[in-house]
């Protein structure tokens, strides 16, 4: 008989957090609160250290690691050093907000390099180790932009759509070994990366009123989805994209017609 009181229990599991700032920080705190040991990895060692310290200050178990997911060989070495991982959460991403005709080759390469190539590196590196063990859960962060696009979001949107395709393919290929792979697609989230939008009152309000809930989210509101997909509560969930977007993709247009 299933003990439903332990569905979200992560005691004895090790989680690798790839991208330890913003949403990643809250995900790490939530995973640790449910019992997981969290390895905080980030390109910026200070960000990884700060998140690890926040987890330990809250009574959790965590370590920090400087890691760039775009460097496949370095990622493989670090994964060997970290050892067995039960959960991997990939939040690392970047965006260059420009129209297609204004994009440079270098900007394209940087966005694709982190968002898509980095995802491929993580799925291949972490996936190989989880498949060999016969267990694990990989969670990659997508975006509403994988489905809904606005001017200036072309390359970012393309990488997120591709990420979701990679997640589905990995779920199919890793599933026989008992490894689950899923994506989370946030809507608009208040983080340092969206400070440009928040500084523009009209832009900020337009985004807030687009979703069904009429507001932005904060990073902590993504943490529950991470814990769910990391835990046994989602033991039969794989190849899925969980939208945590306040109803953004459910709303048709930005005008509420009279009824």
Instruction: Show which residues are catalytic.
Output: 156
Of 244, 243, 197, residue with least CA distance to 221: 244
State the Cα–Cα distance between residues 58 and 219, nearest whole angstrom: 18
Q: For the chain, how long is the longest CA-to-CA vector?
A: 61
Other CB atoms within a 10 A radius of the CB of residue 239 amount to 17
Both tokens assigned to 228 = 């769910």
H-run or E-run covering 133: helix 118-133
Question: Which residues are bridge partners to 14 per DSSP?
Answer: 37
Look up tokens 């529950």; give the residue: 224
């Amino acid at each position: 008989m299933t003990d439903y009181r332990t569905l979200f229990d992560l005691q004895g599991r090790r989680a690798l957090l790839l991208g330890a700032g913003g949403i990643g920080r809250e995900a790490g705190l939530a995973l640790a609160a449910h019992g997981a040991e969290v390895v905080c990895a980030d390109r910026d060692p200070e960000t990884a250290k700060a998140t690890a310290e926040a987890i330990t200050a809250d009574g959790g178990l965590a370590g920090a690691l400087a890691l760039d997911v775009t460097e496949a060989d370095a990622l493989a070495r670090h994964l060997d050093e970290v050892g067995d991982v039960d959960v991997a959460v990939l939040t690392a991403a970047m965006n260059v907000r420009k129209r297609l005709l204004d994009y440079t080759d270098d900007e394209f390469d940087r966005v694709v390099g982190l968002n898509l190539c980095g995802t491929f590196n993580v799925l291949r590196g972490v996936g190989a180790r989880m498949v060999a063990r016969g267990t694990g859960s990989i969670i990659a962060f997508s975006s509403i932009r994988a489905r809904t696009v606005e001017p200036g979001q072309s390359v970012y949107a393309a990488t997120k759509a591709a990420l979701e395709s990679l997640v589905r393919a990995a779920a199919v290929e890793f599933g026989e070994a008992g490894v689950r792979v899923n994506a989370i697609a946030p809507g608009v989230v208040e983080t340092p990366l969206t400070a440009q939008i928040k500084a523009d009152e009209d832009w900020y309000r337009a985004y807030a009123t687009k979703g069904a809930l009429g507001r932005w989210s904060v990073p902590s509101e993504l943490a529950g989805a991470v814990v769910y997909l990391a835990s046994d509560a989602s033991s039969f969930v794989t190849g899925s994209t969980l939208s945590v977007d306040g109803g953004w993709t459910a709303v048709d247009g930005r005008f509420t017609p009279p009824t």
